[in-house]
Amino acid sequence: MTAPKQEVSLGMPQLPAPAYPADVRVRLEADAKEVIARYPDSRSALLPLLHLVQSEEGHVSRTGMAFCAELLGLTTAEVTAVATFYTMYRRRPSGDYQVGVCTNTLCAVMGGDAIFDRLKDHLGVGNDETTEDGKVTLEHIECNAACDFAPVVMVNWEFFDNQTPESATRLVDDLIAGRTVEPTRGAPLCTYKETARILAGFPDERPGAVEATGGAGAASLIGLKLAKGEAAPQARVVSPRGEAPGDRPQKGAEHLSSHDAPQQTSASDPDHPAGPAAEEGE
Ligand code: FES
């Protein structure tokens, strides 16, 4: 273990962070050493170590940051700078399920804003707030590179594609009631703490979890197929917006998004060719 660096305090002196209980400390230290050993420079292990301490308390506490600093020979200021920069680290207690609604441009115009507003009213919480039962934390999230499936909702970083206000409401109701919910693709859902441990670099040992992660979704791959001449540019619109209640897209099912519909171009729409409008009488 490395001695923590000398810290220069510019403000009011702060009380030392409380220590972990002895048994927790022993367990976390063994896990942390396993993570640190993967890197030639110990400080490179900071990101996974922050996930590790997050897996213990559900957020990155002062205790967790002091633990990381001590094991990596960093100052708590250095650890704090990293922990506060990345939004995947939570700085206060949060729910078992972090429900993130993408409200970046594409998802927003495709219904993300409406989904967020509906969930806010339905759950009675605002952005970055947790329901009283401690089950769900609601938050705006940035683009998750799944714009093909907009609007996207993520629960503990698992994808729920092509959502509507109605389907997202059913989703949070199921989470709160403890019913099993299946992400549209990827590994089975687990709690926020369990997710944090996987992100720390410990294998997901649930049966079938690794196999379930699969590859890119069909809507993401269609451009590649078109480029290779493996698919014809025909309309393939399958919009779950018209689905019957309770009829969610199934994992692995072909559920291309409405964005895949070819646009009307001069080639496909000869009545409206592209180019400068002809002057009358020409
Ligand atoms: S804008 Fe929502 S996933 Fe990209």
- What was the pLDDT predicted at 13? 62
What string of DSSP letters covers 126-186?
-TTEE-TTS-EEEEEE---S-GGG-S-EEETTEEE-S--HHHHHHHHHHHHHT-----SSS
Distance CA 48, CA 28 (A): 12
Q: How far is the CA of 179 from the centre of ligand 1 (A)?
A: 27
Q: Is residue 7 part of a domain?
A: no
For a ligand 1 pocket test, name from 141, 147, 148 the mutation site with the most ligand atoms within 8 angstroms of its C-beta.
147
167, 115 Cβ separation under 8 angstroms: no
CA neighbor of 87 nearest in space, from 136, 119, 109, 54: 54
- What was the pLDDT predicted at 232? 73
Q: Is residue 43 part of a domain?
A: yes
Domain that holds residue 60: 22-83
- Indicate the residue type of 120: K
- What was the pLDDT predicted at 159? 93
What is the mean pLDDT for each group of 10 consecutive residues in the chain (282 residues)? 48 76 97 95 96 96 96 96 93 94 96 98 96 96 92 95 97 95 87 93 78 65 80 57 48 48 51 51 44
Q: What is the CATH number of the domain that holds 134?
A: 3.40.30.10
Tell me, using a 6 A CB cutoff, whether residue 144 lines ligand 1. yes
Q: How far is the CA of 45 from the centre of ligand 1 (A)?
A: 29
Atom from ligand 1 closest to the CA of residue 143: 4
Atom from ligand 1 closest to the CA of residue 103: 2
Sign, CA dihedral 45-139-142-102, equals positive
Number of independent structural domains in the chain:
2
Same domain for 74 and 41:
yes
111, 117 Cβ separation under 8 angstroms: no
Distances (CA, A) of 137 to 160, 181, 252: 16, 16, 27
Q: Is residue 278 part of a domain?
A: no
Q: Is residue 124 part of a domain?
A: yes
Tell me, using a 6 A CB cutoff, whether residue 220 lines ligand 1. no
Atom from ligand 1 closest to the CA of residue 106: 1
Distance CA 14, CA 36 (A): 28
Given 147, 166, 189, the domain boundary residue is 189
Helices H / strands E in the chain, number of each: 10, 5
Q: Is residue 92 part of a domain?
A: no
Q: How far is the CA of 101 from the centre of ligand 1 (A)?
A: 9
Tell me, using a 6 A CB cutoff, whether residue 143 lines ligand 1. yes
195, 156 Cβ separation under 8 angstroms: yes
Tell me, using a 6 A CB cutoff, whether residue 147 lines ligand 1. yes
Distance CA 174, CA 161 (A): 16
Q: Which two tokens stand for residue 24?
A: 């927790």
Given 171, 189, 207, the domain boundary residue is 189
Same domain for 102 and 77:
no
Same domain for 102 and 185:
yes
